A = this chain, B = another copy of it.
């Protein structure tokens, strides 16, 4: 059932390689996931790749099972050389396998806010590592998911997927402009909480309420003032040093664990 590819100039190789680029991912509606571990996380979450790309001669029982499931689901399996897999992923030491997934629906309408007491939201988050780390934190605190507001890094980039440690497959994910997010939020229950220095109360012991949406801002600029003012609660964390802010993913996590404790672990 395997299709063998041995030529660097094969159009499929070219296509797979193009998925490293955000523009091409958006056009194709697909993204590439590298490594057996992440592919196993995806499988455990009920997501199988449309196409599995394997380096020949790198056998593994889990890989065999994955291949069988992909074939059974009607997907394609491509066997190729380690060099071509390296070319596709852009890594010198390529993983033994990569998978192509269809991107999924990331509209707000696809989220069920009653599904979890905590949600994370990030505005103009630019670093894919921070984005993936926030997805991972969502998984850890049992959050419903991450809502990406305005222009954020691509959650389907290799770096974000890797930093998420597979959480991209398990937690909710939505992308929206601020106005649309606010409209969606106000159409139902939901407390919007910002980490802020403006007119804020201490983050410990603040009156958190479920479903609680924890909003963090851009890495350099923080949140725009009007976004902060639209929040139901502004909380501040102690800043004992010279700086007045934390890494965005760290701030989100410290708040998320506080909210988790407040709402009854």
Contacts and interface: CB of A to CB of B under 8 A. Distances in A.
Contact of A253 (B129, B167, B241, B250): B250
7 contacts: A139-B243, A140-B241, A140-B246, A141-B238, A167-B243, A171-B241, A238-B257
A39 B257 CA distance: 34
Contacts of A238: 140-142, 257, 260, 265
**How extensive is the interface on chain A, given as a class?**
35 or more
A177 to B, nearest CB: 28
A140 B253 contact: no
Interface string A225-265: 00000000000011111110111011001100100110001
A5 interface: no
> Of residues A44, A136, A247, A254, which shows the largest number of chain B Cβ atoms within 10 Å of its Cβ?
A247
A217 interface: no
A133 B247 contact: yes
A250 to B, nearest CB: 4
Contacts of A261: 204
Given A247-B249, A261-B204, A139 B242 contact: yes
A253 B133 CA distance: 13
Contacts of A41: 242
A166 interface: yes
> Of residues A138, A163, A167, A254, which shows the largest number of chain B Cβ atoms within 10 Å of its Cβ?
A254
Contact of A242 (B129, B137, B166): B166
Interface string A124-155: 00000100010011111110000000000000
Contacts of A142: 238, 240-241
> Of residues A138, A253, A265, which shows the largest number of chain B Cβ atoms within 10 Å of its Cβ?
A253
A243 B171 contact: no
A134 to B, nearest CB: 9
A165 interface: yes
A123 interface: no
A170 interface: yes
> Of residues A140, A167, A240, which shows the largest number of chain B Cβ atoms within 10 Å of its Cβ?
A140
Interface string A36-47: 000001001100
